[in-house]
Every structure is written in C-alpha cells, then in structure tokens.
Structure 1
C-alpha cells in the first residue's frame, strides 16, 4: 500500500524484465531511472542502443519515464558522487560559458520534445529491423519514434485512420514523426 512502483537501471539483463514485474504487480508503476553514456562516446552506436533499449524498449515495457545519467558535467566528467561513475558523459558538457550537446541530449530529445507529460503509449506494429514506439499526447497528437537497424536505407509506411504516408530512414537513423 505504501509503494508506488519499481525503478530500474539497465546495466545488465533484458529490458523485458520491466514487463515481468508489471505482470506480477499490475497495480504498481514502472520507472526507468538511470542509464549512462560512457566517455568518450561512440555517437552512432550509443544513440542506436539507447533509443532501442530505453526510449523504445523501456516504454514498450510499461515504464512511465526514461532518464539518462547524467544531465550535465564539465570537461572532466565532474562532478560525481564519491565512488560513483567517473566516466559518465553528461547530456551536456559545461565548460565555462560554453555548452556542448552530447549523445544523451539527442537520445532524450527524440522523445521529450514531442512526448509531453500526460502522453500515453499506444499500439504500433514492429516490422523487422524497425523497432518503434508510439504515443498519444494530451492534445491528441500521435508521435512515432522509429530506429532503422537495417544495413541499408529503409522505406516504411505509417498508417493511421485509413491514411498512409511513406517514410524513409537511412541505416542507423532515428526518426520522430508527429501528426
């Protein structure tokens, strides 16, 4: 009665474990509260893994949120808690008055700009090599986030209410579609 839900990090195991916990306790919430990007970043590899596992994977497995660790750091990846991660790349790097956006910024941006508080996940098909997740926003818009894991450019269709649009994503690209 005093527990709202469970919080997860994804440093091992399978993201589908969130659904296993949800199925065992459907009256409790699931939260995804931490995953870090290591410095130096492999931008292409990091954005693909984090989009697939967290933005798509966590939310398709009942998570009400996704947080990247950490929000901001200096060029030495400081500050950090004693004993904590010394190589965690912030979503932004602050160097005096200069701010640089890093891969975690773009990972979260694919969702946070369009999937606003109060949005709910809605069903979407999962064609081979195109993991995705869809949402309905409080103002009734639909948002679809798609990752192209295929070796080449992929063309696919978005169908909704008897309307169809053809979209193309380059290999390794992420697209956020809003209508």
Structure 2
C-alpha cells in the first residue's frame, strides 16, 4: 500500500496569506498522487497554531485548520474545504477508475466506492471558467467548473 504522509505548505516556500495558492497546491498534489498509485494521502499538519507552529527549527507551515491559542478560536482555511472534496467523496476501500481529460488545464481523479457509487473530483486551477462535457455509459451531461475551484460529483 502506497501512503503519502507528509503533505503541508511551508511558509518558506509560499506566502502565509495566499489561501487560494495553498488550496490549489493541495488539490494538485492529492490528485497527482492518487492518480499515480497512492492509496492514502495524509496531511502532515492538519491543525497548527496560528503562527504555523509548533516547530523546533522555525520551519512554520500553513494548515487546513489554524488555532488561536490565546483566545481558543480556530479558522478553517480554504485548503480544509479542498481536502474535504476527497475525504467526503472517496470512501475507504474505493478503487481508482479510468478517466480521460482532453485538456492540460484541468485535473481530475475518478473512483468507484465499495457501495458501487462513482466519484469524480475535478480541479480547475486556471483563472477561467471551464465548460465540462462528462460522458458516462454513453450519456453526456455538461456543466461549468468555476475558475480556481474544485468540485466533486457522485453518481
């Protein structure tokens, strides 16, 4: 079983306030890893303090949830909601199924869950809305994927 276990956004590589860039990075990494054989994708730091710590070497990171330790509040970041498309749609025991994209501007992963439902997670990292034509068992449906967004479909 191939497990990716150390996903995170280091502030040394990314601006600390660039939530859309962080979320897009997560989606790109998760889709790429899942499509290339990963069975599990785990975030190294699902919850951190508001400063991106603790960290013994000062290598602070963003995380899907940041906690303000002074007042006991927390903030769900955009990356939390991006990860949710995978964790809520792809069930334990799901198997990856084939899919085709006729553009390099979109990213997607497709899965068949143990209950025989199928899931498609589509990421549009571009700054343009994209029209999608989805064909399943000979039937075609069309819809749009907003710019810099992610969506999950289940049937």
Query: Which residue of structure 2 aligns with residue 36 of structure 1?
Result: 8
Over the residues paired in the alignment, what is the CA RMSD in angstroms?
1.8
Q: In 1, Cα distance between the equivalents of 2:74 and 2:63?
A: 11
Q: Are the counterparts in 1 of residues 126 and 147 from structure 2 also a CA contact under 8 Å?
A: yes
Consecutive unaligned residues of structure 2, counting only runs of 5 or more, are none
Which stretches of structure 1, 4 residues or more, deviate above 4 A after TM superposition? Answer: none
Consecutive unaligned residues of structure 1, counting only runs of 5 or more, are 1-28
After the TM superposition, which residues 22-61 of structure 1 pair with which residues of structure 2 at under 5 Å, given as runs? 29-39=1-11, 40-52=16-28, 54-61=29-36
Q: Note the alpha carbon deviations across 1:82-124, whole angstroms, 9 max, x for none.
A: 33x6311222112243221023312311100111111111000
**CA 1:108 to 1:150, structure 2 compared with 1: closer, same or farther past 3 Å?**
closer
Higher relative contact order (Cα pairs below 8 Å, separated by 6+ residues): 2
Q: In 2, Cα distance between the equivalents of 1:164 and 1:139?
A: 23
Cα offset, 1:60, TM superposition: 0.6
Select the structure that is richer in strand: 2
TM-score calculated relative to the size of structure 1 = 0.75
Aligned length: 148
TM-score calculated relative to the size of structure 2 = 0.85
